[in-house]
Structure formats: C-alpha cells, structure tokens
Amino acid sequence: MPSPAAPAPMKVIYDTDPGIDDAMALLFLEYAPSVDLVGITTVLGNASIDTTTRNALYLKELFEIEAPVARGAAKPLVLPLTEEPHYVHGHNGLGDVPIPDTITAAEHELPAHRFIIEMVRKHPGEITLVAVGRMTNLALALREDPGIAALVKQVVIMGGAFGYSGHSGNVTPVAEANIIGDPHAADEMFAAQWPIVVVGLDVTQECVMTTAYMQELREKAGKAGQFFWDISRFYEDFYRKATGIDGIFVHDSSAVAYLLDPSLFETRTGPIKVVTEGIAIGQTIQKPTTRSFPPTPWDGLPDHTICTAVDTERFLDLYFRTIVEGAAARA
Ligand SMILES: [Ca+2]
C-alpha cells in the first residue's frame, strides 16, 4: 500500500561565503530530507569572491552536490573592499586544509543575483533564500527586479544582533560581520516587502559545538564528520583565543535550523533598519510591532521576524542526526 505522500521538499537557494560554518550549514541543507537545494550562490566575506566560489565548487565536488554554483558579488554595494578575516577562517576560507588547485565542477553561467531572479521567476512562491553571508547578492537582485520580493516564499538570514542574552556584535560592540560587511545591502533587503527571518548573534552565540561534539561527529558521520573536524581546528583555536569558549559557535547552521524547525526558536516581529555610517555602522535595530513611538524612520517598513532565544539542545541534536543520517545514506 502506498504510504501517504510526504510534503514536497522546500526549494532553497543557499547564498554563502564558505567559510567553515558555511560548509557545515551547506551539508545540513543538502542532507535534510525536507529541503531541495536548487542553487548555491557565492558572495565575498569570509574570503574573497574567488576563494569563496572556489570553495563552494570544491564542496559541491567533494560531497557530490547537484545544485549549481553561481558566482556573486566581489565587493560591497557602497563600502570599499577591506581585507578578509584570515584569522577566523584561515587564508583559504576553510581552515587552511589542503584544497586542490583545480576543481572539475564548473560555475553556472549566470551571476548570482541573476540566477536568483531567474529561479524565483521560474518557481513563483516556492523559493526560500537562505543567506548566510553579506546581503549584497540579495540587494543586487532586488535592484534589478524588485518584483521578485512578492514571489519569494521566505528569506532566512544569518546576520545581525539585537542584544538578547547580551549578544550585540562580533566585529564592533554593536555590529555583526555579515551586516557590517555590507550595511547598505542589508538595509535595502530589510526595506523590501518579503518575509525575512533574522537569525542573529542573539541565538547563534548561545549555541556551541564543543570539541567533544565535533569528535563524535567525526566518529559517526563518515567523510562529512572527518571534514568538519579538519576544517574546524583553526576556527576552534580562534574562538578559544577570542572568547574563551571550548568549541565553535554555530552561526550559519542556525539559519538552516530555523528553516527545518522554527519551533526551536522564540521570536519577535517588527521592521528593521541598519545603521550605514558612524560608530554604530552595521548595527541592526528593530522597532517591535508591540511598541508605539512618535514618527520614526521605521514607519511604513515591512515587519520581519528576529530570533530571540533558541533551544540549543534540540538544535544540536537535529544537526547531529541530519548529518549522521545523511552521511550514512550516501556511504
Ligand atoms: Ca557565512
């Protein structure tokens, strides 16, 4: 007897700057049965666009991922290029594990923002964008075709910080890396009429994958577990020195976790603006829908959702199960 049909998997485009936690979140998406990964778009951030694109192609090849890789923005919309954070992700963006010089997988012919437009137009109402780098590609797509906002199912981003649990910034006291990397792009993205869920430091810095957790993943998740172990040695060392934690924050995978199981998170809604100049550049500020004020710059902007708390135990368990089962299914 045929079993009842499972709901169709969610079509996802993953916008990313791999990046160690980006690589870990990519396999979380690829291995989640409820996700149909239809594209990977790259952006500068953790490393240059050449490096993040090369890394995305390398991950596609290494883990036999079908989704095409489209190269995205090489620089922020307005700000000048600055040096990449080699001290976080290593010089090659993947913790300085050896990566072959030549990658067989080829790039998609379209640039990232046009790839996004084409896919959204082709699948109206069906595409979810999961953006875990700077928001430059999303802003470029909106500038070229503002009509896509109404056709995207949902946007889930890793970025920003709103001060919950004491988390307000990791590049400055008030700014998170993905947002301060291109604050103008983020502000344009938040002004668009599409539903955004913001998974910021408020929750990502509540969640730590300890050395013991990574060890168990290495033992039980085959090639993926070993790869995550290898690339995260450098990252773990950075966090130990910078924050004193014994393990790594799970930034980008937190956005994927929201997509897979929103019940892991507590949320608040309201319009969001980004500070684009001055000492608070990169700060994300939400006006809660429940509060009224005299006229403010937030008036008339669309409501978005921010995550304010996370059930870390259930999240870490979901990640572990998804990676172990996904790796076993492909072994
Ligand atoms: Ca990232």
CATH number assigned to the domain comprising residue 266: 3.90.245.10
Count Cβ atoms below 10 Å from residue 71 Cβ, excluding itself.
23
At 237 the pLDDT is: 87
Per-residue pLDDT of the chain (331 residues; tens, 9 = 90+): 556 677 899 999 999 999 999 999 999 999 999 999 999 999 999 999 999 999 999 999 999 999 999 999 999 999 999 877 787 888 888 998 999 888 999 999 999 999 999 999 999 999 999 999 999 999 999 999 999 999 999 999 999 999 999 999 999 999 999 999 999 999 999 999 999 999 999 999 999 999 999 999 999 999 999 999 999 998 898 888 888 888 999 899 999 999 999 999 999 999 999 999 999 999 999 999 999 999 999 999 999 999 999 999 999 999 999 999 999 999 8
DSSP string of 215-259? HHHHHHSHHHHHHHHHHHHHHHHHHHHHH--SEEE-HHHHHHHHH
Strand partners, 284: 274
Calculate how far, in angstroms, residue 138's C-alpha sits from the geometric centre of ligand 1: 14
CA dist 205 and 202 (Å) reads 6
The residue to which tokens 């700000």 are assigned: 79
At 245 the pLDDT is: 87
CA dist 102 and 122 (Å) reads 32
Count Cβ atoms below 10 Å from residue 43 Cβ, excluding itself.
32
Q: Is 199 helix (H, G, I), strand (E, B) or coil?
A: strand
In a domain, 223, yes or no: no
251 is catalytic: yes
Fill in the amino acid letter for 143. Answer: R
Count Cβ atoms below 10 Å from residue 17 Cβ, excluding itself.
32
| Start-to-end CA span in the chain (Å) | 29
In a domain, 225, yes or no: no
Calculate how far, in angstroms, residue 23's C-alpha sits from the geometric centre of ligand 1: 9
In a domain, 239, yes or no: no
CB-neighbour burial class of residue 62 (10 A; exposed 0-12, middle 13-18, buried 19+): middle
Calculate how far, in angstroms, residue 108's C-alpha sits from the geometric centre of ligand 1: 20
Q: Taking each helix axis from N to C terminus, what angle separates 251-260 and 20-31, rounded to the nearest 10 degrees?
A: 20
Are 136 and 72 spatial neighbours (Cβ–Cβ below 8 Å)? yes
Per-residue buried b or exposed e for 119-150, using 16+ beta carbons within 10 Å of the residue's own CB? bbeeeeebbbbbbbbbbbbbbbbbeebeebbe
CA angle 288, 291, 294 (to 5 degrees): 110
At 2 the pLDDT is: 53
Which domain covers residue 117, as residue numbers?
10-208+248-310
Q: How many domains does the chain have?
A: 1
At 13 the pLDDT is: 98
CA dist 74 and 268 (Å) reads 33
Contacts with 295 (C-beta within 8 Å, 6 or more apart), sequence order = none
Fill in the amino acid letter for 255. Answer: A
In a domain, 32, yes or no: yes
In a domain, 325, yes or no: no
At 5 the pLDDT is: 73
Query: What is the signed CA dihedral for 310, 314, 319, 323, rounded to 10 degrees?
Result: -170
Q: Which of 21, 9, 17, 15 is nearest to 234 (CA)?
A: 21
CA dist 147 and 154 (Å) reads 14
The catalytically annotated residue of 89, 113, 167, 251 is: 251
In a domain, 226, yes or no: no
Calculate how far, in angstroms, residue 85's C-alpha sits from the geometric centre of ligand 1: 12
Calculate how far, in angstroms, residue 6's C-alpha sits from the geometric centre of ligand 1: 31
Calculate how far, in angstroms, residue 290's C-alpha sits from the geometric centre of ligand 1: 31
CA dist 112 and 42 (Å) reads 7
In a domain, 318, yes or no: no
